[in-house]
Amino acid sequence: MAPALSSLTPTHGPDALAAHPPSLGEVSDYIALLKPRVMSLVVFTALVGMVVAHSAVHPVIAFASLIMIAIGAGASGALNMWWDADIDALMTRTRKRPIPDGRVRPDEALAFGSILAAGSVLALGLIANWLAASFLAFTIFFYVAVYSMWLKRSTAQNIVIGGAAGAFPPMIGEAAVSGTVSLETFVLFLIIFLWTPPHFWALALVKSSDYARAGVPMMPNVAGADATRLQILLYTLVLAPCGVAPLFLGFGGWVYAMVSIIGGFAMIALSVQVLRLRTGEPAIRAAQHLFGFSILYLFSLFAALLAEHGLGLMRPLGWHV
């Protein structure tokens, strides 16, 4: 575990308020605590879960549910930043976040995240149903307590297990509009879950010195870069077939077929490049290319499903089992 900086020592203690002067946090700083980019991915995948469900629901209820899911995701981000303020201060990628940069006090971030978490769960239960609300509450708990407080600092499998938190939104979205969870959104969960390790390990290969400085046991720092490269390829070889599963389950059409098949082959090719190029600048560029393309790959899969189910572009292939 990384040692806490002296300026952040009271982050989790009762003396935090006395040890820090009032913050000068602006609205933009509190927005940054919500991790807007992560929040946008959560909302997008939850929306796809809703449209794949094909449940008749009032659009106002669906929209309000998405807002609550977004707030819940933002609450998770704020609580994650509160807990990780000490290691964020040690990493070049995160040291300018609002808490380590001194713009927001740790206790303020804790209160902000806690209020948003409780409010989003309660509101989603009242707006949609309590299954969706319970699912959202569990996701927040899993990300903050299981991933941030336990897994992240204790095991190189942190991203593998913790990735489940980022994979739940399609299921929460379906639960909000249908009151149930189907095989379709479980497959979407599985796609995101399998996508997470190669995506984040590609970044970890580039930022391994950052993680080492902070004492975070990411795979390259524990198992070594070469073992990480091999695991990236192995996960991608499982991810690519899973990515085309909607075609055989009958909820992916021609648009999805092109995106998933071409994108899957591209992910495998880039993973092979990461495995093949092991030293110097070419190795760094290969990992960066995989990291960047993996975002496009996941977005394209879900955008294709959204277009087919939400815009009426669905043309079944007749491949489903």
Residues 104-131 have pLDDT tens digits of 999 999 999 999 999 999 999 999 999 9
Tell the CATH superfamily of the 16-181 domain: UbiA prenyltransferase (1.10.357.140)
> pLDDT above 70 covers what percent of the chain?
91
Owner of token pair 């807002």? 67
Q: How many residues can be counted in the chain? A: 321
Of 123-132, 251-260, 308-317, give the lowest mean pLDDT range.
308-317
- Distance in angstroms (rounded) separating the CA atoms of residues 202 and 19: 38
Quote the CA–CA distance of 150 and 168 in Å, as a whole number: 19
The pLDDT of residue 36 is 95
Looking at residue 313, what is its pLDDT? 74
How does DSSP classify residue 251? S
pLDDT for 110 equals 97
Q: Summarize the confidence of residues 230-239 as an average pLDDT.
A: 98
Mean pLDDT value across residues 269-274: 98
Query: pLDDT above 90 covers what percent of the chain?
Result: 84
- Per-residue pLDDT at 319: 60
Residues 320 and 246: their CA atoms lie apart, in Å, by 8
| pTM > 0.85: yes or no | yes
Arithmetic mean of pLDDT over the chain: 91
Helix (H) or strand (E) holding 139: helix 130-141
Structure confidence at residue 5 (pLDDT): 41
- Could you tell me which residue, 290 or 23, shows the higher pLDDT? 290
Predicted confidence band of residue 21 (pLDDT cuts 50, 70, 90): low
Q: Please state the φ and ψ torsions of residue 102, each to the nearest 5 degrees.
A: 85, 10
pLDDT surpasses 80 at 19: no
Q: Please check the confidence at residue 93 and state whether its pLDDT lies above 60.
A: yes
9-13, 130-134, 208-212: lowest mean pLDDT where? 9-13
| DSSP one-letter code for 97 | S
pLDDT classification of 20: cutoffs 50, 70, 90:
low
Residue-wise pLDDT tens digits, 136-145: 999 999 999 9
CB contact at 8 A, 139 and 72? yes
Name the one residue in this structure whose structure tokens are 């004492």.
Answer: 215
CA atoms of 145 and 38, how far apart (whole Å): 18
At 316, give phi and psi (nearest 5°).
Answer: -60, 150
pLDDT bracket for residue 314 (50, 70, 90): confident
Q: What pLDDT was estimated at residue 57? A: 83
* 292: Cβ contacts below 8 Å, ≥ 6 apart: none
pLDDT score, position 7: 41
pLDDT tier at 9, thresholds 50, 70, 90? very low
Q: Encode pLDDT of 146-188 as tens digits.
A: 999 999 999 999 999 999 999 999 999 999 999 999 999 999 9
Give residue 166's pLDDT. 94
* Beta carbons of 120 and 110 less than 8 angstroms apart: no
CB 177 within 8 A of CB 62: yes
**Residue 203 vs residues 155, 197, 198, 238: alpha-carbon distances, Å:** 17, 10, 9, 20
Band of the pLDDT at 55, cuts 50, 70, 90? confident
**pLDDT at position 88 over 70:** yes
For helices 254-276 and 280-310, give the axis angle rounded to 10 degrees. 170
Place of tokens 């489940």: 164
pLDDT for res 25: 77
Q: Distances from the Cα of 291 to the Cαs of 89, 284, 287, in angstroms?
A: 23, 11, 6
Residue 75 CA to residue 71 CA, distance in Å, equals 6
Backbone angles phi, psi at 101, to 5 degrees: -85, -5
From the DSSP assignment, how many helices (H) and strands (E) are in the chain?
17, 0
